[in-house]
Every structure is written in C-alpha cells, then in structure tokens.
Structure 1
Amino acid sequence: MAFLAQRPVASMMRNASYLRPSAERRSSVQIRASAQTFVEDNIKNNKVVVFSKSHCPYCSKAKAALGGIIPKEKFAVFEIENNPECSAIQDVLMGMTGARSVPRVFIDGKFIGGGDDTARMAQNGELKKLLTEAGVL
C-alpha cells in the first residue's frame, strides 16, 4: 500500500505500455478478414479442400476416405492448429458450415461435411460421384 501512495496511479498508467495498442498487434477485425480470405481463397483455388488438425482422429478419417479414392496430390489439406489465426479460421468455418469443429471438407466449393460424413459418403459411393462431377476423377 505504501508503494501506491508514493507513486501516483496516473503515473503508473502513463508508463503501462502493455495497456496501449501496439502497432504490431492486429485488430480482431484484421485477423477475421485475414482468416476469411485464407478460407475463401483456398476453397476457390482447390477442387477438394480439408481444413484439419494433425492430431484429430476425425480429420484422419476424412483424409483416409478421400485418399482411398483419389491420390493425396489431388486434395489440399490445411493443418490449422499451428496457424496463429486458427481460432479465427474456425470462426469463419462456423459461419460457413454451422460448426467450428474440424475437419471441414469442401468439394468444388461446396461443404460436404466432417469426418464421419466423408467416410459415410465414401462407403455409399456418393463421394466418388461428387469427385467425378467436380472433375477430380
């Protein structure tokens, strides 16, 4: 308490640089816009896209289902867990698909589902049909 009495609070606040916005720190709006661009550009530029996390068993399931039909070079996988915008990317995916969870699988710009959905579609032949229609097969 004596320390606070010796040093005025206003002085402490003036020197509290950690409370001031940093030029290096991006705003949440900038991060959201960057994540939106990342997601939209990758969906637009790839016929088959999987937004994934490397440790996720459902992601492995989706990638295996796709890999059982097309070569791995024919689908783009984005492991997002080490991306500094991971949370914002998942927020964007939530807005587009109704869920933040991974995997989020897109074929020809259309969301087809997660890991269980992709595996089910591989089993019943629907995935092969979608890949053929998209010109991937």
Structure 2
Amino acid sequence: MAQEFVEAQLRGDKVVVFLKPSCPYCITAREVLSKYQFRPGHLDWIDISGRSDMGSLQDYFLEITGARTVPRVFVGEECVGGGSDVMELHKSGKLKAMLQSMGALQ
C-alpha cells in the first residue's frame, strides 16, 4: 500500500517532498525549494504526519532511499535525500540544473 501511494505521487517532471511540518530538516527543504519559481503542478508537499500508514511509508522510504527520515525529497523519480542534501545541491548549483532539465521551473 505504501509503495503504491508513493509511486502514484512521483513523476519525471515534478518535485515531491514527503514531510512532517514540525521537522527542522523539512523546514530547511521548504526554505530551499521556495527560492525557485516552479511551474504550477511541478512541486508537491505531502504531509505524512497524520497518516495511519506513516510507519509503513517510512519503512518504504528506508527500502528505496536508505533512510526512514523525513523529508524525503524526490526530484523526478529519484530521491535526492533530505533537508541538508537539498541545501548542498542548491549551494552547488546542481539543484537548479536538475530542475531546469526536467522542465519544472517557470
């Protein structure tokens, strides 16, 4: 069930962030991604904190990304990691290049 839910959210031209609103790394990821002008429908925030399947979602993240923690940031169908990973990609310029190449930016 968790696998179907996660896979249904991912798309090659979209950034999807699975998060919990109170998590400091989730806030970091939000701050970094808010610096970019996304085309409508190309950035999704999915709050897993109130979900009954939160544990199984995090188990699935561990299986496919190597970590259970949030945020899990997917650029297209590839997980690029969490908040500090997104910050590093942003600082290096790689994040902008990834977003441009997938057509997610205005």
TM > 0.5 fold call: yes
CA distance in 2, matches of 1:89, 1:45: 20
1:1-137 aligned within 5 A: 34-44=1-11, 47-71=14-38, 73=40, 74-137=42-105
Verify the 8 A CA contact 2:20 2:47 in the aligned structure 1.
yes
Shift of 1:44: 3.2
* Pairwise CA RMSD: 1.6
Verify the 8 A CA contact 1:46 1:75 in the aligned structure 2.
no
Shift of 1:133: 1.1
User: SS at 2:11's partner residue?
Assistant: helix
* C-alpha spacing 1:46/1:88, structure 2 compared with 1 (3 Å): farther
Shift of 1:72: 8.6
Give the structure-2-normalised TM-score.
0.90
Structure with the larger strand share: 2
User: SS at 2:68's partner residue?
Assistant: coil
Moved over 4 A (4+): none
* C-alpha spacing 1:65/1:90, structure 2 compared with 1 (3 Å): same
> Which structure's CA Rg is the greater one?
1
Aligned length: 104
Name stretches of at least 5 consecutive residues in structure 2 with no aligned partner.
Answer: none
Structure with the larger helix share: 1
Say which structure, 1 or 2, has more relative contact order (CA 8 Å, 6+ apart).
2
- Can you list the C-alpha shifts for 1:62-112, whole angstroms capped at 9, x where unaligned? 111111113495310111010110000001111110000000101111111
User: SS at 1:50's partner residue?
Assistant: strand
